Structure 1
C-alpha cells in the first residue's frame, strides 16, 4: 500500500492538507515550465502521485483517500492557490482513476491496479466516441478533446455512443483503455490553463473488452462508500467550485499584497490609499466568502444524504452544479478586478494576476459551469417537468 490515509474525516482532511504543503515547493518550481511545455513537469506529477493527492477520490479499498466532497474542495482550493495547472490536473486525474476504481469489474481492476499499485489516469466524459458491440466487447473509434493530464496517464477513459446490429442505440457508456493505445494530438495551444496538457486523443478500431466499460448513469458502485452515491453532476461539480475559489482567492491575495507598494511616474502612490480599491477589496472578500459558504452548505447537505444511503435528489444535483457555476463567475469577476488594479505590470507573463485571470476564463468555458446550469436551476424553481441536471 503506497499511502495510509486515516479513516476519520477530520484526520484525513489534515493529512491531505499537509500533503499540499509538502508539494508546495515542487509545484511552485514547476509552474513556469508547465506554461512553456503545455503540461505540468514530471517532477510535479511525481510529487502529486507520491503524496497521495492524485488518490484524493479513489476508493479506500484500492488505497485511496476517498475524501468527502467538502474536504476535496479544501484540498483542490489549496492547490489552486499554489499553481492552477497542478490543481486542475489533480482534480481531473483524481476523478479519472477514482471512477473506474469504483465502477469497473474485479477483472478490469486486477489489470489496471497491477500489483495493487494505483495507476495515473486521464479521462473525458463527453460521448465523442462510437463503440460498436462485438463478441466480448466493443470496437471503438473516436477523438476526445480536453484530456487534461493525458501525457502523464497510464489509463484513459472516454464516453461513447453504442451501436448494435448496425444501428446507434440510446446507450451511453464510459470505457477505459491503456494510454499506450491512444494517439495524442499536439493541439493544446490555448489562452488559459496552458499547463494542464489538455490535448485531444483518439483511437481507431480499438477493441475494448466488456469488463472495461460501464454505464455512468445506471451502474451501481462495486467499491467505495458514500462518495460514490453522489451521482452526476454531484461527483464532480465540487471540483470546479474548488478550483475557482482557489484561483480567485490567489488573485485577490496577490493584489492586496501589492497594494501597499507605491507605483506610477513621478510621485508613486499606493493603490491601498484609493477609496475605489478599498471598496473593491471589501466587496470581493465578501463575495468570495459568501459563495464559498453556499458551496459548502450545499455539499454538506449532499454528504448527509449519501451517508444515509441516498443519492442526492434532483434539487441538490441542480444546486451543486449551479453553485459551482456561481463560484466560477464570482472568481472570474474578482480576478478581473485584481488584474485591473494591477496596472501595466499585470500584463507581463511573469505576473500572477494575468495567469489567474486567463486560467479562470478558461475554466469558465467548461460545460459543468456553463450558463445552462442557471437555466436548469430556474426550470426547477418554475416546476418544469423532465429536468436533466446535466442539461
Structure 2
C-alpha cells in the first residue's frame, strides 16, 4: 500500500489542538449553514463542504492511511466544539468518522486504495444489523433496509452491517450510487442530519468490500481500533448529550439579562434566584458528566493497550453515556421553562436544543439497558454482551 500523507500530529495534545483549530477554521461556515440544514432536513451544501475540507471526518481513521486516530477523550472535545456551533453537523461528523474509521481499519490494502482514490470520502452507515447477504460468485448479493442513515444523502459510500448465509454477520461497503434513499426523515429534532432510511435491492458487493463483522482481522490502526462495539462509539453519544446541555446553558446565559418575564415590563430572569440556581446546578451537572465520561474512557482505553478492552469497563462506559444523556435531558428541560413565550417558535435556539435532546435520547446506544448491564457488573454478575 502506498504511503499516505498525514497532517495530524501523533502526540495526543498536539492532535487535540490541531483538531480544535480545524473546528475553528470552519465555524463560520457551519454556523451559516445551520438554518438551511434544519429547514431542508439534511446538511446544507456549505456545511458538507466545510466538514470535508476541515479533515474532521478523519477523526477516527487509522494513522496509516492519513487519519487523526484521536484518543476517545480528544474526540469528546472535538464533538463538543462542533455541537456548540451546529448539533446536526456534529452528529453527521462523528457518524461518518466512526464508519470510515472502522471500515478503513479492516479493508484490504487494495480496497483502501480504491476508496481513497479521489480523496477522503463521506461515509454513512448503520449500527444495527439488518437485511440479508447471500453468497455469490466473487462476493455477496445484499438486500435490506436500514434506518438512521445520518448524512447518507451526502455520502460517497455506505456501510451496512448485514446478516449472511456465510459468516453470521458481514460489514458491506457499497457506493451510495447503488443505494435507494428514502425521504422519510420527518422528526421531532435533529432535523438537519438527514437521517433517513436507505435500502439495497439485490446489490452485488465484491469480496474486497465485505468483511466479517465478528471476526475480521484488524489490518491497521492502534488501540482505538481494538475497542470494538460498543466501546468504539460510546464516547460519541455521551459527549454529544452533555454538549447539548452546555449549549442550552450558554444560550440561556446569553439571553438572561435581556429576557424579562411578566406583562408589565417584568424583571430580568438573571435576577431571579430560582434561575440562578438552575444555571449553577446545570453547569455543575454537565461538568460532572464530562469528567465522568472522560475518566471511564481513560480506564477503558488503557485496558485495550494489548488486546480487547475489559468488558466490565465497556459496560460502565455505556452506562455513563446513558447517564450523560439523562442528565442533559433534565437540564435542558429545566432551562426551557425560563425561555419564555418566544421559545415556542420553531426558529428559537432553545426550542431546537430541546427537540434535539429528546430525539437523541431515543437512540439505541443510550437505552436504559446500559444501566441494567452495569448493575449486573456491580452485583458480580455477567454483564451480558454487546449492544442493548
Aligned to 1:83: 86
Native 8 Å contact 1:126 1:159 kept in 2: yes
Alignment correspondent of 2:212: 215
Looking at structure 1, the residues matched to 383 and 268 of structure 2 have their Cα atoms a distance apart, in angstroms, of 55
**TM-score for the superposition, normalised by structure 2:** 0.96
3-state SS of paired residue (1:66)? coil
- Which residue of the partner structure matches residue 141 of structure 2? 139
Q: Distance in 2 between matches of 1:125 and 1:210?
A: 21
Distance in 1 between residues matched to 2:277 and 2:159, nearest whole Å = 47
CA distance in 1, matches of 2:68, 2:349: 31
5 Å-filtered alignment, 1:319-358, equals: 319-358=316-355
TM-superposition CA deviations, 1:301-358 (whole Å, max 9, x none):
122223x323211111101111111111111111111211101111112211011111
**In 2, Cα distance between equivalents of 1:145 and 1:319:** 27
Query: Which of 22, 38, 58 is the aligned partner of 1:19?
Result: 22
Tell me how far apart the structure 2 counterparts of residues 245 and 8 of structure 1 sit (CA, whole Å). Answer: 26
Residues 347-385 of structure 1: CA distance to partner in whole angstroms, max 9, x if unpaired? 112211011111111111110001111111112222333
TM-fit CA distance, 1:221: 1.3
- Once the 2 structures are TM-superposed, how far is the Cα of residue 386 of structure 1 from its aligned partner? 6.4
Gaps of 5+ in 2: none
Q: Partner of 1:253 in structure 2?
A: 250
**1:135 shift after superposition:** 2.3
Within the alignment, does 1:179 sit opposite 2:181 as a pair? Answer: no
Q: Distance in 2 between matches of 1:350 and 1:232?
A: 37
Mapped partners of 1:262, 1:295: distance in 2: 33
Does 1:312 find its partner at 2:312?
Answer: no
1:190-209 map, 5 Å:
190-209=187-206
- Report the alpha carbon displacement of residue 2 of structure 1 after superposing the two structures with TM: 7.2
1:7 alignment partner in structure 2:
10
Q: Distance in 2 between matches of 1:42 and 1:224?
A: 31
Number of equivalent positions: 384
Counterpart-to-counterpart distance in 1, 2:184 and 2:6 = 35
Runs of 4+ in 1 over 3 A off after TM superposition: none
Other-structure match for 2:113: 110
2:279 to 281, 284, 289: 281
Distance 1:198 1:371 in 2: 23
Maintained 8 Å contact 2:185/2:196: yes
Cα distance in 2 between the residues matched to 1:212 and 1:219: 12
Q: Does the 8 A contact of 1:33 with 1:41 survive in 2? A: yes
What does residue 128 of structure 1 align with?
A: 130
Report if aligned partners of 1:49, 1:55 keep a CA contact under 8 Å in 2.
no
In structure 2, the partner of 1:39 is 42
Q: Determine the C-alpha separation between the residues in 2 that align with 1:216 and 1:58.
A: 18
2:123/2:152 contact within 8 Å kept: yes
The reply to whether residue 361 of structure 1 matches residue 358 of structure 2 is yes
Task: Note if contact 1:262-1:268 (Cα within 8 Å) is conserved in structure 2.
Answer: no
Structure 1 residue runs without a partner (length 5+) = none
Deviation at 1:232, TM superposition (A): 1.5
Distance 1:120 1:45 in 2: 9
Mark the CA change 1:259 to 1:2 in structure 2 (over 3 Å): closer, same or farther.
farther
Asked if the contact 2:6/2:63 (under 8 Å) is kept, the reply is no
